[in-house]
Amino acid sequence: MAIKDILEDIEKKNQDRITSIKKECAEVLDKIQKEHTKEKENIMGIFNERLAEDLAVSEKRERDSINMEKTYLLLHRKTEIISELLIALNERLSTFKSGTEYESILSDSITVAEKTLGKGFIIKCSPKDKEFLTKKGKELNIQEDPSVNGGILCYSAKGDRVVDLRLEKLFREIKPDIEAMILENIGAN
């Protein structure tokens, strides 16, 4: 064998070795790239899952916040409506202290007081209401009391029982029912 053959043989073995090393390196590099791609996809999958969960939580919080704000605004507006209606009713009550409806209320109040307190009860009312009640023709013990403004305040003959039939008190008593009725009509929920 000549040196040339030996050198060619060595060169061929070196080329084969280089080719083998390149092939091994390419396989290792390919394996590393596949593992890297798989790990990257895994990390992206986890990231996307967490991002989706975070977005769902954020969306729910935002929706809850919007619903709370909406509920607050509706409740606030309903409260304003009730307040405005009660103010209007109160104003109407102050102008209601005359006329046939008012006189009918006074007559009914006398009947209620008589049933509750018995004969001989004392009626305290405004001077204007005293005028109307004395014209009724009934025997009534009526005392003027300017502090009773609208309606009557009645005491038993002995003074031990009181029936308060003043319009303001009657209005205060039915006010919760009126509020409930208004809420029902404007939709409380």
Residue 72, in any domain of the structure: no
Residue 76, in any domain of the structure: no
Q: Between β-strands 162-166 and 141-144, what pairing exists: parallel, antiparallel or unpaired?
A: unpaired
Q: Does the global pTM surpass 0.85?
A: no
Residue 154, in any domain of the structure: yes
Residue 119, in any domain of the structure: yes
Count up the domains in the chain and report the number: 1
Q: Which domain holds residue 154?
A: 96-186
Highest mean predicted confidence (pLDDT) among 27-31, 78-82, 146-150? 27-31
Any idea what the CATH number is for the domain that residue 182 is in? 3.30.2320.30
Confidence at 53, pLDDT banded by 50, 70, 90: very high
Residue 67 has pLDDT above 90, yes or no: yes
Complete DSSP assignment for 169-189: HHHHHHHHHHHHHHHHHH---
Residue 30, in any domain of the structure: no
Residue 163, in any domain of the structure: yes
Confidence at 188, pLDDT banded by 50, 70, 90: low
